[in-house]
Chain A
């Protein structure tokens, strides 16, 4: 074994109480994840005990050069699956030195919505199905696809195994364990319909933690693909033509929906979502119009429709929810590059706070 590996995996707990905290934040594009690490004197489990920090916002398109400091507020802690021991990952959001959230900080507004008493009372649960595509480095062509050509058409790849059907499973499987280790509520994974595309699900998470957990999972995925030498893409329609896009279907329920008579609440909520279709679509991810065509298990971007067990609808309600008279529904509109803080808080706002 190389000495470098021994050093990376060195267990520091014998030699020192100090820990390493990787502060993670979202950069200027709204999709780029940034991080840097610092040493702390001892183990921490509560974000409020972590010091605020700052970074150079002019290098991430979030501040001008003459006034470049952006302040990081720690919001959620996860165990670091790369450094292990007592080392941690810290999900942060970003503020001006004056204490205002900077424009790209979507978490702050979401936190406001999630602390509204009506929303708190309804205990909103989210299950987010994050799809993503793996690309070969340098050529940016999907993993497993012949360079200069295409694989056989979709059909054999969904949930499949085999060297000619599943590309990149090591990434998916190591991501699964890494997230479980980190304390992220990862509930499952599967191979997707387009070869080289995969999905993981996070949830059920309550309120703001859905966003924190999804961003932490995305960070871990980006680190793992970095190790594997493969490029991660959250583009909602990576390849044009008869190839599925990538979404981030968001399953949602409130306390009333989960109790008896919940099905009626679900239908009312869906109606409210129908009234705000355009506003939601505008916030559900850049480039979604390339994906929501009405084909490839999507509903057309301009149409709002819902149905039971219908994968061609905007909102899908499961058969077991219909049968039990209570449960949850699935918003199939968000693209894979959506911001979960925006999507989760918007769904809560429209269905709980909006009075038509």
Chain B
């Protein structure tokens, strides 16, 4: 420090001024450097999303943020497209990016791509290429500008959907004329839990112990009741920016658990929007240094599970006399309970116990305003005689392509035998 000030001092000695009246820029510059040495942590970002680069010393972190938030549009027409697909477990989201020569509006303008399926459990090493077909475009909230996220599904080189590709079959159902005519709407309530890294214990919970019992946390605020709101709020704006149909968010009953809702979306869009929102959530938790889990029952005991309640209506349900159509749909669903349950998410049996606002996994029930049922119909819908139904069975790790298309299939394309229908109507006290 003394050495650096020496030239200034020499100058001062000639003019016989004190050091406090030295050239303002010099004094301020060294002063701010001294302050910086005492400050810890990354500098504030002036941009929309706080970019948490890997821990670095003091001031230089600004340079990385500058590059991350660089707006390339003055320098090049090229954009970056992040291709996103679902991996071999059915819940792992994967992605990689490529440069595209200019901005695009429609997925059909984007080239097909491929990836190494042997690294995601989706192809053998000697024949590892899996082809990606772009299906939906969203704006990239992390890169900004004209850069995009692309939801894709996966095919063999011959053009067949690979076994884990659930979107292809759903798209077929949604192309059926009967389904198109009924304009099926979906509102999906995605619940999720945040875990601390390394210990995999929920965020905000004491390591080696438990927080106070459920009660104060649902929609709560306060440092002792709400854990991870920054993630939920950042995710909300990121999804709105991206063009995802996110309709709301709330803190959940179990501390460290959150929910957001996507919808109403028509047909196959519901699935695309949910997967895009899940990808964005995984990227945000990655930045925040927190682990995301979609496990349906993360903690055993007197703690709520995580579900993905799916609200559903068709044109007929939304029009006069819709309540009768809803009851007929519930009837159909009751007769295919087993098929639906097996497709509604792995590990759901740990969650659907009949307690903690769920119906038992083996029982099919429905009721107005009843959160302990498989299907809940809102009071408004009952009063108005039209509206929608809420299927409360799907787990948080469900595949929305499967759930939405199965709902459409069972209620619009499938017909039970007359005897089965009559029996079920009796059991459920439904006069249809």
List of A residues within 8 angstroms of B87 by Cβ? 159-160
**Contact present for B128 and A309 (CB under 8 Å):** yes
| 0 or 1 for each of B264-297: is its CB under 8 Å from A? (1 = yes) | 0000000000000001001101111111100000
**Contact present for B97 and A189 (CB under 8 Å):** yes
**Contact present for A174 and B78 (CB under 8 Å):** no
List of B residues within 8 angstroms of A81 by Cβ? 67, 70
| 0 or 1 for each of B251-272: is its CB under 8 Å from A? (1 = yes) | 0000000000000000000000
List of B residues within 8 angstroms of A227 by Cβ? 56, 60-61, 63-64
Which of B67, B119, B285 counts the most chain A CB atoms within 10 A? B67
Expressed in whole angstroms, the Cα–Cα distance for A30 and B197 within the complex equals 40
Given known A160-B94, A163-B286, A319-B129, contact A1–B43 (CB-CB < 8 A): yes
How many whole Å from B80's CB to the nearest CB in chain A? 6
Given known A159-B94, A168-B54, A174-B67, contact A309–B129 (CB-CB < 8 A): yes
Expressed in whole angstroms, the Cα–Cα distance for A156 and B119 within the complex equals 9
**Contact present for A310 and B125 (CB under 8 Å):** yes
Expressed in whole angstroms, the Cα–Cα distance for A122 and B291 within the complex equals 51
List of B residues within 8 angstroms of A229 by Cβ? 54-57
Report the count of interface residues on A (CB-CB < 8 A): 59
**Contact present for A161 and B54 (CB under 8 Å):** no
Contact residue among A161, A181, A230 (Cβ-Cβ distance under 8 Å from B72): A181
Is A12 on the interface with B (CB-CB < 8 A)? no
Determine, out of A3-11, A87-95, A333-341, the stretch whose residues face the partner at the interface.
A3-11
How many whole Å from A312's CB to the nearest CB in chain B? 5
Is A264 on the interface with B (CB-CB < 8 A)? no
Contact residue among A2, A158, A167, A190 (Cβ-Cβ distance under 8 Å from B59): A2
How many whole Å from B274's CB to the nearest CB in chain A? 15
Contact residue among A166, A178, A309 (Cβ-Cβ distance under 8 Å from B70): A178
Expressed in whole angstroms, the Cα–Cα distance for A177 and B62 within the complex equals 15
**Contact present for B64 and A174 (CB under 8 Å):** yes
How many whole Å from B55's CB to the nearest CB in chain A? 7
Number of A-B residue pairs having CB atoms within 8 Å of each other in the complex: 169
**Contact present for A161 and B67 (CB under 8 Å):** no
Is B28 on the interface with A (CB-CB < 8 A)? yes
| 0 or 1 for each of B134-147: is its CB under 8 Å from A? (1 = yes) | 00000000110000
Which residue of chain B is the closest to A167 with respect to CB atoms?
A: B54
Report the count of interface residues on B (CB-CB < 8 A): 66
Expressed in whole angstroms, the Cα–Cα distance for A162 and B197 within the complex equals 10
**Contact present for A161 and B95 (CB under 8 Å):** yes
Is A193 on the interface with B (CB-CB < 8 A)? yes
Given known A176-B80, A187-B99, A310-B126, contact A161–B93 (CB-CB < 8 A): yes
Expressed in whole angstroms, the Cα–Cα distance for A170 and B286 within the complex equals 10
Q: In chain B, residues 64-99, which have Cβ atoms closer than 8 Å to a Cβ of chain A?
A: 64, 66-68, 70, 72, 75-76, 78, 80, 87, 92-99
Is B48 on the interface with A (CB-CB < 8 A)? no
List of A residues within 8 angstroms of B62 by Cβ? 1, 5
How many whole Å from B170's CB to the nearest CB in chain A? 23
**Contact present for A224 and B67 (CB under 8 Å):** yes
Contact residue among A159, A166, A180, A191 (Cβ-Cβ distance under 8 Å from B78): A180
**Contact present for A307 and B126 (CB under 8 Å):** yes
Which residue of chain B is the closest to A200 with respect to CB atoms?
A: B97
How many whole Å from A176's CB to the nearest CB in chain B? 6
Is B157 on the interface with A (CB-CB < 8 A)? yes
Given contacts A4-B59, A156-B92, A169-B283, 12 further A-B contacts (CB under 8 A): A146-B198, A158-B116, A158-B119, A159-B95, A159-B119, A161-B286, A170-B53, A176-B97, A181-B76, A297-B116, A307-B126, A311-B128
A residues lining the B interface (CB < 8 Å): 1-5, 8-9, 79, 81-82, 143, 146, 155-156, 158-171, 173-178, 180-181, 186-191, 193, 224, 227-230, 297, 307-312, 318-320, 323
